[in-house]
Amino acid sequence: MSTATATAARHSEAPARRRAFDWAPARTYVQAVIILIWCLAPFYWMVVTAFRDVGYTFEPTPFFNHVTFDNFVTVFDEARGNHFARNLVNSLLVAGITTIISLIVGVFAAYALARLKFSGKSLVLGFILGASMFPGVALITPLFQLFTNIGWMGTYQALIIPSISFSLPLTVYTLTSFFREMPWELEESARIDGCTQGQAFRKVILPLAAPATFTTAILTFIGAWNEFLIASQLSSDATKTVTVAIAGFAGAQPHQEPYTAVMAAGTVVTIPLVILVLIFQRKIVAGLTAGAVK
């Protein structure tokens, strides 16, 4: 390898470089700050507006002023026809149940795909990957008819079943890539000690797989929580989820787009996700990129 020559070259170069000011780190920082502003400014603007008095909706002041909690009151105000608490519960139910079902079913498939040798593996994986890229509109017309015929329109299962079609492939794909990196030697040891393959799976592998499963659960939950297309077409007033509610929101004045209230609703929906994402940042990045590159 040329590492030795490279280090030697770097050493001889170093004194010469020290004489002039090194601009490289400064350039990196400037670009990093631009990325930070680009990513965070719109989000920050949403939070600022959420806490701003309706009368000052279009005030361009970049920091918090005219602070009020009125917008949050409006969001949860049943008298104005907003049922945001109900919408939150609906979203939690739909996204939660979707995540649980996808994980319970998907964990077995991921184990098989990551661990076992069998013919047709590429085909199965291709099918699952294809399913995750599937356009939601292609499901919506037949489901619309089916759910109307069997009286499921406006039920939770009418939202959960299509959600599974998006989240299950994602769950299997992410879990498979995580599972491939786990220390499977422990499974071999367990089997030498007399465990069956099933026992080794339950007693050794499942506890080991818990962190990967948890990360996948977060990704699946966020995906299901953010779903809009299916929910906007197949939900009723009783089962409306938060994303659909935010899209058609009633504010303080009847004939005016209630920007501040919508931003408040957006903040309520987004802050938990952002906190979750910041806490589990490393794991989520690993989960998002798993499979695509490794």
Partner 1 sequence: MSTEAPTPTSAKETLAGTHHMPGKESADRRQVTQGRWAYTLLTPTLVLLGVVILYPIINAIIMSFQKDAGLDPATGFFTEGGFTGLDNYTHWLLQQCGSGPALGPCPPGTLGAQFWDAMGTTFFFTIVTVAMETVLGFWMAVIMARAFRGRALVRASVLVPWAIPTAVTAKLFFFMFAFEGIVNKIFGTQILWTGSEWPAKWAIIISDVWKTTPFMALLILAGLQLIPDEVYEAAKVDGASAWQRFTQITLPLVKPALMVAILFRTLDVLRMYDLPAIMTGGANNTTTLSILVVQQIRQGLNNASALSTITFLVIFLVAFIFVRFLGANAVDAATTGKK
Instruction: Report the site for partner 1 in 184-213 (rule: CB under 8 A).
Output: 184-185, 188, 191-192, 197
Does 170 participate in binding partner 1 (rule CB under 8 A)? no
180 is a contact residue toward partner 1 (CB under 8 A): yes
Stretch that binds partner 1, among 29-37, 70-78, 80-88, 203-211 (CB under 8 A): 29-37
Binding part of the chain for partner 1, among 40-48, 64-72, 76-84, 150-158 by CB under 8 A, reads 40-48
Q: Of 16, 67, 79, 278, which lies in the binding site for partner 1, with binding defined by CB under 8 A?
A: 278
User: Taking CB under 8 A as the rule, does residue 3 contact partner 1?
Assistant: yes
Token pair, residue 247, equals: 């899209």
CB of 178 to partner 1, least distance (A): 11
Residues 44-73 that bind partner 1 (CB under 8 A): 45-46, 49, 57-58, 60
Q: Does 83 bind partner 1 (CB under 8 A)?
A: no
- Residues 5-24: x/- map of binding to partner 1 (CB under 8 A)? xxx-xx--------------
Tell which positions 217-246 bind partner 1, by CB under 8 A.
Answer: 222, 225-226, 228-229, 232-233, 242-244, 246
Residue 173 in contact with partner 1, rule: CB under 8 A: yes
177 binds partner 1 (CB under 8 A): yes
Binding of partner 1 at residue 293 (CB under 8 A)?
Answer: yes
Least distance from partner 1 to the Cβ atom of residue 197, Å: 7
Q: Which of 130, 157, 210, 237 binds partner 1 (CB under 8 A)?
A: 130
| DSSP letters for the chain | --HHHHHHHHHHHHHHHHHS---HHHHHHHHHHHHHHHHHHHHHHHHHHHTB-GGGTT---SS--SB-SHHHHHHT-GGGT--HHHHHHHHHHHHHHHHHHHHHHHHHHHHHHHH---TTHHHHHHHHHHHHT--THHHHHHHHHHHHHTT-TTSHHHHHHHHHHHHHHHHHHHHHHHHHTS-THHHHHHHHTT--HHHHIIIIIHHHHHHHHHHHHHHHHHHHHT--HHHHHH--TTT--HHHHHHT---SSTTS--HHHHHHHHHHHHHHHHHHHHHTHHHHHHHHHTTT--
CB 215 within 8 A of CB 284: yes
Q: Does 255 bind partner 1 (CB under 8 A)?
A: no
**Smallest gap from residue 121 Cβ to partner 1 (A):** 6
Of 250 and 277, nearer to partner 1 (C-beta) is: 277
Find out whether 83 and 241 touch, Cβ atoms under 8 Å: no
Selected from 134, 203, 211, 214, the binder of partner 1 by CB under 8 A is 134
